[in-house]
A and B are shown apart, each in its own frame.
Chain A
């Protein structure tokens, strides 16, 4: 396979370069001493990172994004874990329909959801935009709960639940004392993935912004419209570090689970 190897290797290297070069580029531009985005960067400075932390809009947006992503992820899990359990352990009429329904948020474009929720929650129900954000993000990430936790449950030997029942535990006790501890790494994985996707969401949140209520990605987009400077690069690097941390923890969990 020698000749093919070099050809395939070359393509693979090129593709991976394509995937990573832009990100590395931004990372490099974030350290420049110049006041515009330059490559190669001139000098080394952390002032753009300082800028990020001193930017009130960014800080408030980060806080909002963080809190609301956490809250929606929790909701998604509270809804998704029992749902995934029911789908995995029970057989009933209409199961396929409900399964499709639970995975339907994937089929509807996020912008459509954003617009729909805007008209319903903000305009019709006149509720605070944060409610809409919370609900919208919960729905958009609930599929992670279903899929990842569902996979964990499927791989759990059902007879340990039967064993628990035969030893005197009610179904509820079995769920909390036997099922949950054994799918904990699946739950944490789902949490992290859902969190990061809620945090990064743009198409939904763009419809659900208001005065003082902007998520970080939206704030970033607005900033780029009027300012083209390395602050954005620095912020990008910080966000990438956050994603990287999420990835590391998830990988560790997947390994520990095995």
Chain B
């Protein structure tokens, strides 16, 4: 039994299209997991269901075995960092951070102590008396974090907390958030649309699309071995060509293709896919397996490499070749798809 369990969550507004469709997710205690996907995929909705802002039409949400589905928001004890930070404009930084503690009716000196401690932890020690409007974006973000963490929540929920910061600050803050999370050992759900951000700091990533989770795995597995076409495209795979599944393996054009990591399952129309960078371009079919012949139609100079659009019997494939050797449009070349890099979705 996991620490957090989402079972069969359905969310639909007015019985129309489902925003979340039979969503299931298990999260282990102390882990940092991200919900990643394009806008509209349902990642923020999922977070808001966990937070209690949205009541699911169906399904349940369990925390440590207890059913939280109908627990009111203010009784949940979760720390939430909003995309807009949602700092209280009429309270100082210290009062903002102290708010949750006041709600829990702690003694005044304990509140003061905890507030100054957490402000020091997030590097805002001197700014307790300021108002949110006097702070920079990065500072406000840290106040939001401090406010969420000071109440020692069971769960930390972050809704695209870095998207309003400039690139440099974003890099700095994501590391800080991860370090803080690991130090406190707090279970965390992080919503983002930024792939690099999420891969760099998460224990596991749930890639979402149209209200369902396409793949829930470590960042490495998602990047190297996407399990669906959507996930593959999302992490940069191109070159989707049809494969035929036979008893002893996968065939392309009647020839068996060697694949190192076979998928656990796939639909009735499996496709092979590989990154443009991973294709090895050969003048002649030197390799003894996984070779496709084709003609170059377009050549684009990318700086670090040349990109070729190659017409093959299985459709156009895109391959990147080194900038030392070039082929021109019209050349016949061979594309070798190494077994370790070829993925079936």
Contacts and interface: CB of A to CB of B under 8 A. Distances in A.
Do chains A and B make direct contact within the complex (CB under 8 angstroms)?
A: yes
Contacts of A157: 84, 86
Residue among A163, A169, A171 having the largest count of chain B Cβ atoms under 10 Å: A163
A160 interface: yes
B135 interface: no
B77 interface: yes
Given A157-B84, A159-B84, A178-B88, A166 B99 contact: no
A170 B53 contact: no
Contacts of B89: 160, 182
A167 B90 contact: no
A181 interface: yes
Nearest to B81: A163
Given A162-B53, A182-B89, A182-B90, A167 B84 contact: no
B151 A162 contact: no
Contacts of A162: 51, 53, 73, 80, 82, 86
Contacts of A163: 80, 82, 86-88, 147
Interface residues of A, number: 17
Nearest to A184: B90
Nearest to A170: B74
Interface of A: 157, 159-160, 162-171, 173, 178, 181-182
Interface in B45-90: 51-53, 72-80, 82-84, 86-90
A165 B48 CA distance: 13
A181 B151 CA distance: 23
B103 A166 contact: no
B78 A166 contact: yes
B104 interface: yes
Residue among B72, B74, B84, B99 having the largest count of chain A Cβ atoms under 10 Å: B74
Given A168-B77, A169-B103, A182-B89, 11 more contacts: A157-B84, A159-B83, A163-B80, A165-B52, A166-B74, A166-B79, A166-B148, A168-B100, A169-B74, A169-B99, A173-B74
B86 A167 contact: no
Residue among A159, A162, A166 having the largest count of chain B Cβ atoms under 10 Å: A166
A165 B103 CA distance: 10
Contacts of B77: 168
B103 A168 contact: yes
Question: Is the interface on chain B under 10, 10 to 19, 20 to 34, or 35 or more residues?
Answer: 20 to 34
Given A157-B86, A181-B90, A182-B90, A167 B76 contact: no
Given A162-B53, A162-B80, A173-B103, A168 B86 contact: no
Given A159-B82, A159-B84, A166 B73 contact: yes
A157 B140 CA distance: 15
Contacts of B80: 162-163, 166
A160 B86 contact: yes
Nearest to A182: B90
Nearest to A166: B80
B150 to A, nearest CB: 9
Given A159-B84, A160-B87, A181-B90, A167 B53 contact: no
A166 B82 CA distance: 11
Contacts of B147: 163, 167
Contacts of A164: 88, 99
A168 B83 CA distance: 19
Contacts of B52: 165-166
A170 B103 CA distance: 9
14 contacts: A157-B86, A159-B82, A160-B87, A160-B89, A162-B80, A162-B86, A164-B88, A166-B52, A166-B73, A167-B99, A168-B74, A169-B74, A173-B74, A173-B103
Nearest to A171: B74
Contacts of B82: 159, 162-163
A160 B79 CA distance: 13
Interface in B178-199: none
- The 7 A-B pairs with the shortest beta carbon distances in the complex, nearest first, are A168-B103, A167-B100, A159-B86, A163-B86, A165-B73, A181-B90, A166-B80
A172 to B, nearest CB: 10
A171 B90 CA distance: 18
Nearest to A158: B86
Contacts of A171: 74
Contacts of B75: 168
B51 A166 contact: yes
Contacts of A159: 82-84, 86
